[in-house]
Amino acid sequence: MFYLSRLLGSPVRDVEDKPAGTVHDLVVSTRQAYPRVTAIQVKRRGKVLAAEWADVTSFEESGTLLRIPAAGLRERPLQPDERLLAASFLDKQLVDTEGRKVIRVNDIQLVRTGPFVHVAAVDVSSNAILRRVGLGKVSERLSGGRQKGKPHLIDWKHVDLEQSDEAAIRLAVPETRLELLHPADIAELVHQLSPEERRAVFDALDEELAADTFEELHPSYQASLLLELSDKRAGQILNEMAPDDAADLLADLPEDRRQHYIDLMAKDDAEDVQELLSYPEHSAGGIMTTDYAWARLDDTAAEALERLREQAEHVETVYYIYVVDRSGHLRGVFSLRDLLTTPPDRKVRDFMTENPVAVRTDASEREVTELIAKYNLLALPVVDEENRLHGIVTVDDAIDLVLPLAWKKRLPRIFH
């Protein structure tokens, strides 16, 4: 096994053992799981030429020997499945889908397999950097053979690589691999990236996953990232976000920018967000969401269940279903368990709990959290002075109010 960094710049000699130039880069085919070297780029008299792998008789870190004269080196275009190993991957940030880390490729390990050479792994250790500046031996002596001095190698099969040459300059993550990660993991990854890399990540995600990931970002980070996205992508993400999260995000923007983004949203979503923005920031109205499950007094259990199926994709929680009359007044509540254990032809009015605990839209955050804690609720309805239902405050929103963000992320996923 050997390293790309020790090959780059090494001497190349031709069939007559005369100097032919130095190794500039390696051409690899990406058809295989472990890319195979198909040609060597040679820098000769200021020009970058190439020798096919079949024309290489010896390939070592100390130097390369060709079976052709130096005059036989030619310019060589890349084939569709080929990449330049150093130019495409060295010093680039990549996503390891197993370790869920953003990594920088400090070196690349190669291995011989019979007459061929294949890419085996990427080295992301600090030792790789020392090796590249000619201090590899110093690094080995400093480490004294201890574990920390060993290369940190990540098997090539675990590394996710963007396929287009230009995009390889940035981190570009295939959607099929990124969607294996939880939105919280993707958010942690995004915090470590440059603006160009962040845009590449969000462009690779579908709208729902992008919105879920956005909601997991630190609040102080969301606004700046929103400004980096295209209007089209920003509008898609805002439409998919929970209304209360979208409102919290837009509340941090200047008035003109806030209205600009509201105008990008679908009409119904925009109206929900505008309503939430109209309430004081630290009131029940300011922290509630307008996405909740509801049913009518005269619905049967079967009708309520069908209504819930239609609502489930868009509501914040399905555990509580709030009963409203045709004027929007809150009349009762029942749980999902109540619904599933009730005969299908029984009317909602006959098994709901009347006069549920609720708060006014102008109630303080403290009152909200105290009621949720006192009654051990997963959500608390928010009503106006005429008892019309406007939204709910979920337990995860209450947790946001009383726990630092870092603590919240340690809680089981059931709470957020």
124: domain CATH number is 2.30.30.240
Structure letter (DSSP) for residue 347: B
pTM listed for this prediction: 0.56
Q: Does the residue 416 lie in any domain? A: no
Q: Do residues 151 and 40 share a domain?
A: yes
Whether 283 is in a domain gets the answer no
Contact between residue 316 and residue 346 where contact means Cβ atoms under 8 Å apart: no
Query: Would you say residue 258 lies in a domain?
Result: yes
132 belongs to a structural domain: yes
**Contact indicator for 3, 131 with CB cutoff of 8 Å:** yes
Q: Do residues 359 and 329 share a domain?
A: yes
Asked if 47 and 156 sit in the same domain, the reply is yes
Instruction: Identify which has the larger pLDDT, 409 or 275.
Output: 275
CA dihedral sign, ordered 177, 179, 184, 189: positive
Q: Which domain holds residue 383?
A: 293-408
Q: Quick one: 121 and 193 in the same domain?
A: no
pLDDT for position 177: 53
Residues 216 and 144 in one domain: no
**For range 247-263, the mean pLDDT:** 92
Whether pLDDT at 94 is above 70: no
Residues listed for the chain: 416
Same domain, 9 and 148: yes
163 & 187 share domain: no
Residue 102 has a pLDDT of 62
Which CATH number is 309's domain given? 3.10.580.10
Decide which of 163 and 94 is more confident: 94
Percent of the chain with pLDDT over 90: 53
> How many CB atoms are located within 10 Å of the residue 40 CB?
26
Residue 174 counted as domain residue: no
- 15-29 pLDDT tens trace: 999 999 999 999 999
Q: Are residues 39 and 17 in the same domain?
A: yes
Same domain for 385 and 331? yes
Residue 398 is assigned to a structural domain of this protein: yes
Token digits of residue 277: 């923005």
Give CA–CA dist 398/391, Å, rounded: 14
- Looking at the fold, whether 164 and 214 belong to one and the same domain comes out as no
Q: What's the whole-number mean pLDDT along residues 279-303?
A: 94
Give the three-state DSSP class for 155.
strand
User: Does residue 81 or residue 204 have the better pLDDT?
Assistant: 81
Q: What are the tens digits of pLDDT across the range 30-60?
A: 888 889 999 999 999 999 999 999 999 999 9
Q: Does residue 156 sit within a domain?
A: yes
Instruction: Please tell me the total count of domains within the chain.
Output: 3
Span 160-200, pLDDT tens digits = 655 433 433 233 344 455 555 678 877 877 776 777 767 77
